Amino acid sequence: MNILPITKNALVLSLVCIVTMGFFIGGMLEVLDYFIIKVLLFGSYGVLLFLAIKYALKNDIKKNRPEDKFQDDSH
């Protein structure tokens, strides 16, 4: 039993929100000059980029029309 159902969309939206809020709050508190903050924020951005590329390479093309039934789309 899952308490929070996590789909791919919910996971990506959560990661984007965390990275965005991290940059925003870090900028407001003026802590972006600290090295550890830069490592955390750019590391989370790197993880997000890695997951996006991994999902894009694994994504398959879905065909809406069966191969054996041809349809005339000329009209």
Mean pLDDT per 10-residue segment, the chain (75 residues): 67 80 87 85 84 78 66 61
Helix (H, G, I), strand (E, B) or coil at 67: coil
pTM for the structure as a whole = 0.54
Contact 44, 18 (CB under 8 A): yes
Structure-token pair, residue 48: 């997000």
Q: Coil, strand or helix: which one is 60?
A: coil
Using DSSP's 3-state secondary structure scheme, residue 63 falls into coil
